[in-house]
Structure 1
Amino acid sequence: MNAADETGPFFHGTKADLQIGDLLTAGRTSNYRPSIVMNHIYFTALRDPAGLAAELAAGDGEPRVYEVEPTGPFEDDPNVTDKKFPGNPTRSYRSTAPLRIVREVTDWPRLTPEALADWKRRIAAIEESGGEIIN
Structure 2
Amino acid sequence: MRSGEDPGAHTPVTFESCSHVEGPFYHGTKSAVEAGTELVPGYGSNFHAGRASNNIYFSALVETAVWGAELATALAGSAERGHVYVVEPTGPFEDDPNVTNKRFPGNPTQSYRTRHPLRVVAEVKEWEGHEPAVLNGMLDHLAQLREQGLDVIED
Q: Distance in 2 between matches of 1:87 and 1:34?
A: 29
- For the aligned residue pairs, the C-alpha RMSD in angstroms reads 1.6
User: 5+ unaligned residues in a row in structure 2: which ranges?
Assistant: 1-10
- Secondary structure in structure 2 of the residue aligned to 1:125: helix
Tell me, in whole angstroms, the C-alpha distance in 1 between the residues paired with 2:65 and 2:58.
7
Residue 68 (structure 1) shift: 0.4
Question: Secondary structure of 2:21's match?
Answer: coil
Q: TM-score, normalised by structure 2?
A: 0.79
Instruction: Write the letter of the residue equivalent to 1:41.
Output: I
Alpha-carbon separation, structure 1, partners of 2:12 and 2:125: 26
TM-score (norm 1): 0.90
Please state how far the C-alpha of 1:104 moved relative to its aligned partner: 0.3
Q: Does 1:127 align with 2:142?
A: no
CA distance in 2, matches of 1:134, 1:98: 19
Counterpart code for 1:63: G
Q: Count how many residue pairs are aligned between Structure 1 and Structure 2.
A: 135
User: Which protein shows a greater Rg?
Assistant: 2
- Look up the match of 1:91: 110
Shift of 1:118: 1.3
Q: Which amino acid aligns with 1:6?
A: V
> Is the deviation greater in 56-65 or in 69-78?
56-65
What's the counterpart of residue 59 of structure 2?
44
Structure 1 residues 6-85: aligned runs within 5 Å: 6-58=21-73, 59=76, 60=78, 61-85=80-104
Query: Cα distance, 1:35 vs. partner?
Result: 4.5
Which of 68, 92, 103 pairs up with 2:122? 103
What is the match of residue 4 of structure 2? none
Question: Between the two proteins, what is the percent identity of the paired residues?
Answer: 46
